[in-house]
Structures are given as C-alpha cells and as structure tokens.
Structure 1
Amino acid sequence: MTLFAKWTPRQYTVKFVDVMNQTLVEFTDLKYNASVPTSYVNAISKVGHSYKVFHDQNLTNVWNSQNFTVTEDTVLFVDYTKNDYVLSFETNGGSTVEPIRLKFGSLIGQSHATTKSGYTFKGWFLDAGFTTPVTSETVITENMTIYAQWKEIPIAQKVTLSFETNGGTLIPQHEFQKGSLIGTEYITTKSGHTFEGRVRGCLDSQHL
C-alpha cells in the first residue's frame, strides 16, 4: 500500500506601506514562488506622483518586481515623489511670461506680471474663453496653460469749448475731455454793459 502526500500551497501576504509605515494596500492571496501581479503593483499608483519601492524603511534596497517571487510574508516600502509640471502663459498680446515648473499640487498664483499698451489686465484664466478664473486656491495638476484677459482703456475724446461773447472781449477756446465740467470762471467785458450770463454744465458735444 502506498500513501500519497497532498500539498496545499500556503498563501502569503505582501503589504505595501509608505515611509511612515502606514498601510497603502495589502494582498493576502499570493502563493509560494508567485510573482506579484502587475495589477497589484498598479494599485499603489498615486495621481501626480512617481514612486520607488524598497525592501527596507531606510530606502536603500530597491525592490524589483520583475525578479521578485513570494517566499514569505513581505512588507515593501513605497517612497512617493511629487511630479514636476510646466505652467505656460498665453498673454494674448501682452508682454511675455516665461514658463515655470511647479510641483504637483502647488498653487499657481495670480501675480505673474504681464502688460499690454492701452489695456488693463483683468486676470488669469484656465481657459481661452475666460470662464474659469485662476484663484488664490488654484493648484497645478498637469502641464497647464493659463490665459491673460485684457480690457481696452477707452481713449478720452477731446472737445473744444468756444465762446460767443456777443460784442464782449474775446475768450480763447478751451479744450476738454468730453464729459468734463465747464466751470464758470470765463471773463468777458463789454463797454456800457453788465455781464449777466453764466457758463456751466457738462461737455457733451464738439463745441459749445
């Protein structure tokens, strides 16, 4: 009579923790000599970050998933690094602002200076249609371009104030910006007459 041994592969645990020893993910179904599936490794991915995996908390012995097989319960340490992203500027005719590099999650900021002759700067926006403004809380999450919005400075219209003194001494013409107050200080005299009129109001035509 012959007896046959039956073996059941033992299952092992592979746990990924961060550098503070906080568990990220844990897998308890890996058999002896099994490789760690790619899907398991992908589970430790973190948006906006790159990472390396180590066998030790001192981060000296790099783990190679291609050459690793499970032979015991294992703890692996994941060291994350924030990615760098490029922030570019579309100044829409304003002075050039050079691209800058920022870490993932960094504040974009609102103080990137640009100027445009004849225009007032209205702010930076996340889109070319100026629907979403950059705020004090906006952060970078990928390579991004922000857009400058401008408002044209109105050109002041000049008007000329002329005087019909009706026989009085002449008063020179005066030039004003349209909409300015005229004032009442214009003096004219006429022999044998008393001046009774007053000039006041607001310029709203080319000549008054």
Structure 2
Amino acid sequence: MTKEDVVTSSGSSDPIIRTSLNVDSGGDVVATFECEPASREWLAKGDVSRNQQGLVISRLEVTPGPNTAGGVTGGMLQKVPVGHVLRHVRAELGPGSEPPATFEDTPFMRRVREGDRVSIDDELLREVAHRYWVYTGPGQPAGAIKRLAADFQRPEETVRTWVARARREGWLGPSVKGRAGAEPGDKLRQEFEIGFR
C-alpha cells in the first residue's frame, strides 16, 4: 500500500520532488520518488530504503528530458539533489503534523534548566532524541547541537554525548558520516507510533 504522492519544492528554481510512501513496512523500500527540474532537462526516479545507516537511495534512474538532445551526462547526474530527496522523504515519514515551533515546558525540563543533576535515563534520552530529530529536520537551520545545549543549558560536548547515547540506546537511528541529523530510532517511533510510518 502506498500513500498518495506529495509534491515538494523549497523554491522556484529547485527541482520538484514527488514521493510515494510505502506504508506497509514489510520491505526495505520505504518510498519511491521522482525528481524533475523546472527546465525538464532530466528526470530522476528511484527508491529510498532504510538500512543500518538510516535512509539511503537504493535505486536511482536518470533519463534525459523530452527536449534534451543526447543521453544522460555527468552534469545531469550532479544536479540530482540526493540530499534534498532524502530530507523530503524523511519529513514525510515523520509525525503526521508539523514539528512543534516550541517544546512544552515540562517539569523535567524545568529541573534540567535549574541545574539539577540528571541521570542519563530514558526520560532524558527521549527528550534529547525528539528535539534533535526536530532540529535537524527539513527547513531547519544548522546548529542543532547549539540549540540543544541552549535548551538544556549544558555544554555542547555534554549534549553530543547525550545524542550519541540516544543513538546507542535506540532513540535515534544511526549516524551517517558527513550528514547531520538522524531518523527516529525504534524507541522514538514507538513513543509516537500513531504519527510515524
């Protein structure tokens, strides 16, 4: 079963991305996509799968556009916005509603901000993972660790340790070298099982 196509574009010069989610998570492929620039110079199609590194493009097919003479060129391949496609699929797989603009001020977070000593337990890791996932989502500015450090009023190195622990404990998906952000891990998906696909 698939979810209806979602057309996304962050600007008039950006390629249009159409995704179709595979909501029966029985296989590795979680979505298929088509990506096409406004110039229609090329069309990219493919599959996005979930593996040990998180979301990856597992199949990519590029064809020249209807008004393009010749075949696929290296320049066309370089224009396929792979990272952009993965960010949009990631956003579509996340909670069904928009990420919160601000987070709820819970008694736990008040204790943390007041400087209380906190143990690295599921309550802390859940909060760290959820905020990190939101702060590294599509359309978010860089600096997720800085924002987490401000939220928790702790040094950035402490927050980095917490994020790494959240990955190890299953609250966040594994990291990919050179790519900021993460997919929600199994525990965070279970926490929000209604919204996550």
Q: TM-score, structure 2 length as denominator?
A: 0.22
Structure with higher RCO (Cα < 8 A, 6+ apart) = 2
Question: Which protein has the larger Cα radius of gyration, Structure 1 or Structure 2?
Answer: 1
Q: TM-score, structure 1 length as denominator?
A: 0.22
Higher normalized helix content (fraction of residues): 2
